[in-house]
């Protein structure tokens, strides 16, 4: 992979977006992780937050301790000889999410199969057959954007989003995959449902998943899904 060509974009009076790449790639994570580590040291007490995404890192700082120009200068120094994280990936935990793939909770399974030329069983096998990296958190608390899915599962978002997507719904959009941590509107293609608790306000780490984590969706039977506390109420039948 070639070296990134960083660009700095202002984000208000207390932030800079560092754009390292233009294209989504798992290899981006090691560069973003290395930059985040450097920022923690270089900004010290002036660092307020960092938000990684597929190709960027947003750095927010305390404007009472640093001016935007000073923050920019520090970033330019960090970027001058940036090297990817030595591990080659962004580290993180490995999680297996028990998932019940079924048209009753994955109402888009049939349509995805038709669009991709696969059978429903093949869609399930392809989706559950690889691990995914968490690239970013956003949209809703605990919502992890993961990728990249197999090119054969590349499906666009729905033309009209659902007003309610049940908690735990496992979905795909373009070459991304995710599981909804709460009931929210959503326009991704629903394939099934996981019983994993993705967001818990009573847990010290509110979100189960973090950027850099590795995730695998593990198919389970309806009986096993229910045994682990999963809700089998059909998606389209929910009030």
Check: CB of residue 153 under 8 Å from CB of residue 106.
no
Question: Per-block average pLDDT, block size 10, for the chain (239 residues)?
Answer: 82 95 86 92 95 92 96 95 70 91 97 96 98 91 94 95 96 96 96 96 89 95 97 79
How many whole angstroms separate alpha carbon 172 and alpha carbon 225?
20
What pLDDT, on the 0 to 100 scale, is given for residue 239?
A: 46
Q: Which two tokens stand for residue 37?
A: 């580590």
What pLDDT, on the 0 to 100 scale, is given for residue 30?
A: 87
How many whole angstroms separate alpha carbon 192 and alpha carbon 198?
15
Query: Which residues in 67-80 are b (16+ Cβ under 10 Å) and which e?
Result: ebeebeebbeebbe
Q: What is the 3-state secondary structure (H, E, C) of 129-196?
A: CCCEEEEEECCCCCCEEEECCCHHHCECCCCCCEEEECCCEEEEEECEEEECCCCEEECCEEEEEECC
Confidence (pTM): 0.85
Check: CB of residue 137 under 8 Å from CB of residue 207.
yes
- In degrees, to the nearest 5, what angle opens at C-alpha 87 toward C-alphas 84 and 89? 70
What pLDDT, on the 0 to 100 scale, is given for residue 3?
A: 72
What pLDDT, on the 0 to 100 scale, is given for residue 4?
A: 78
Where do the domains of the chain lie, and which CATH numbers do they carry?
7-80 (3.30.1360.40), 94-237 (2.40.100.10)
Q: Which two tokens stand for residue 33?
A: 């992780």
β-partners of residue 52 are: 57
What pLDDT, on the 0 to 100 scale, is given for residue 238?
A: 53
How many whole angstroms separate alpha carbon 190 and alpha carbon 112?
9
Those residues with Cβ within 8 angstroms of residue 28's Cβ, 6 or more apart along the chain or in another chain: 20, 21, 54, 55, 135
What is the DSSP code string of 46-59? GEEEEEE-SSEEEE
Backbone φ and ψ for 218, nearest 5 degrees, come out as -105, 115
User: Which H or E element spans position 74?
Assistant: helix 68-80
């Amino acid at each position: 992979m070639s070296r990134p060509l960083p660009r700095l974009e202002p984000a208000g009076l207390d932030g800079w977006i560092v754009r390292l790449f233009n294209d989504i790639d798992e290899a981006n994570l090691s560069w973003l992780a290395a930059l985040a580590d450097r920022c923690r040291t270089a900004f010290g007490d002036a660092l307020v937050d960092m938000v990684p995404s597929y190709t960027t890192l947003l750095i927010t700082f305390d404007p009472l301790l640093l001016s935007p120009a000073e923050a920019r200068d520090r970033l330019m120094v960090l970027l001058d000889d940036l090297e990817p994280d030595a591990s080659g990936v962004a580290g993180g935990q490995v999680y297996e999410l028990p998932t019940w793939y079924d048209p009753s909770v994955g109402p888009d399974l049939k349509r995805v199969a038709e669009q991709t030329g696969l059978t429903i069983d093949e869609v399930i096998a392809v989706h559950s057959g690889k691990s995914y990296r968490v690239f970013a958190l956003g949209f809703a608390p605990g919502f992890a954007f993961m990728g990249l899915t197999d090119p054969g599962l590349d499906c666009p978002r729905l033309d009209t989003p659902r007003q309610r997507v049940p908690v735990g719904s496992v979905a795909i959009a373009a070459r991304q995959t995710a599981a909804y941590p709460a009931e929210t509107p959503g326009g991704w293609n629903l394939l099934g449902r996981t019983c994993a608790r993705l967001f818990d306000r009573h847990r010290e780490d509110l979100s189960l998943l973090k950027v850099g984590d590795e995730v695998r969706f593990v198919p389970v039977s309806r009986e096993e899904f229910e045994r682990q506390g999963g809700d089998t109420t059909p998606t389209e039948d929910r009030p």
